[in-house]
Structure 1
C-alpha cells in the first residue's frame, strides 16, 4: 500500500504545497483519494489518471474538497480519457447536494446530479466500507461540521494507516489510529494551544500524544498552515511521541 501526499497545507494552499489531499494505491486496484483540496487535482495528474480514482472525503470544508468540481469536469468532458465507469464516492451525507450546487449550471439553486459518474455512500460512524482492496472505517471527530477520521486496512498485507481529517483532540482519534503502521495527523495550531478556537484543530503536542496513546508506528504531521512553523510543530509532536515523526511534504511517497 502506497500513500502519496498531494498536499498537506492547512486551511488553504501554500505557494509550494496544495491543501489537503492524499493518494492511496494498492497494486491491481484503482487509486483512492483521501480529500481533494485546492491544488491537489493538478498534483494528482502527475501520479495517476484522475478519471479512475475513488474519492473519500473526511469532511466538506473547502480546503479539503474544493477541487472535486474540477474532477467532475475531467471525468465527464476530457476529450481523450473521460471516465469509462462510475467510481465510488464516500463522504458526509450532505455531499451530493453540496457538490451538486457547485457543479450546477442552474445557479444559484440548481443541483447537478453526480450519479452519472460517482456512486455515493454516506459515512456511518464505525461502519467499515470495502473500497476495492482496502477497508475504510470512519470515526466521528470533533469539528464544526460532520467530520471523520478514516482508518484504512489493506486486505492482502494487513497494512494499516489512519488519517485524522480535521479535529480537536478526542479519544475516538486514538481508537482510529490504534496500532497503525502510518498515522497522518493534523496539527493546525502548530505549537499554540488553540484555546481561543475550541473544538476545531490540534497542535503538534496533541498530535504526538494521540500517536503515542494509539501505539502508532510512524507519525506524519499534516494540515499545517503557511504561517505556522512546520519544524517547530514536528518538534512539539516529538516531545510526546517517541517513534519516527516528520512533516508530510507534498510529493512524499510512503510504502506501508
Structure 2
C-alpha cells in the first residue's frame, strides 16, 4: 500500500497547507480518505481526480469534507471527463447523514436542494462499526470519541495494515484499531495538558502512548493545528513511543 498526504493541517487549513486529505493506493485502486479544505487543489497537483475509485469520510467537520462540494462541481460539469470506461458514480462512504449533509453544503437553499441530492455524482454508503471491503482493501470501522459521529479506520491489503484514528479523544477502541499496525496515522491536534477537553482530540503524548501500547511499527502524526508547535508534538510522541515517529508533510508519500 502507498499513502499520499494531500493535506494535514488540523481543524483549519494553514498557510499554504490544506486540511485533512489522503490517498491510499494498492493494486491500481485509488482510495480517497478525507477531502478537507484545500485538498482538491493538492489532489489535482498529484493526479487526475477522476482516477479516484472511492472516497471515505471519517466524519463531517469541514476540515475533513469541505472540498467534496468542489469535487461535485468537477464530476458534474466537466465537459469531457476522462476515463469513460470508469463508473460514472463515485462510491462515497461516511456517517449516517452523509448524503443530506453534503447536499446541504453544496446547495444551501431549499429550492436548489429540491433539484439535486448528489445522487447523480455519488453512490452513498453508511459507515457503521464493523468490517467491509472497498476494492482490494479490507476495512474495519470503529466509532470513536468526537463531538460528531466519527470513525477510525483500519485498512488492510496484501498483509499490510494502515490504521487511521480520524479525529478522536482517547477511547478504548483505539487499541484495537491500532493493534500491530504497520503504520498508525494518528491525529495529534495539541500538546498534552490536563485542561484539554475530553472527547475531542489526541495530544502528541497520547498518540505516542497509543502507538507504543498497540505495538504499531511506525507512527505518522497528522492534523496538527496551525497554532500548535509541531516540534513539541513530535517530542511528546517520541518520548512515549519506542518505534519510529514522524510528522507527515503535505505532498509526502509513504509506503505502508
TM-score by length of 1: 0.93
Mapping of 1:90-239 within 5 angstroms? 90-104=93-107, 106-107=109-110, 110=113, 112-125=116-129, 127-154=130-157, 157-189=158-190, 191-193=191-193, 195-239=195-239
Q: 1:86 aligns with which of 85, 89, 105?
A: 89
Helix, strand or coil: the match of 1:124?
coil
Cα-to-partner distance string for 1:6-52 (whole Å, 9 max, x where unaligned): 111100001132100011111322x1111110010000012222123
Cα-to-partner distance string for 1:43-64 (whole Å, 9 max, x where unaligned): 0012222123111000001111
1:17 is matched with 17
Report runs of 4+ in structure 1 exceeding 6 Å deviation. none
TM-score by length of 2: 0.93
Distance 1:17 1:232 in 2: 19
Unaligned stretches of 5+ in structure 2?
A: none
Unaligned stretches of 5+ in structure 1?
A: none
The answer to whether the 8 Å contact 2:221/2:245 transfers is yes
Shift of 1:161: 0.3
Shift of 1:83: 7.5
The answer to whether the 8 Å contact 2:192/2:206 transfers is no
Distance 1:221 1:196 in 2: 18
Cα RMSD, aligned residues only: 1.6
Of residues 196-205 and 103-112 in structure 1, the stretch that sits farther from structure 2 once superposed is: 103-112
Helix, strand or coil: the match of 2:69?
helix
Distance 1:35 1:185 in 2: 14
Aligned residues: 251
Distance 2:239 2:105 in 1: 42
Cα-to-partner distance string for 1:114-151 (whole Å, 9 max, x where unaligned): 222211110111x2121111111110100000000010
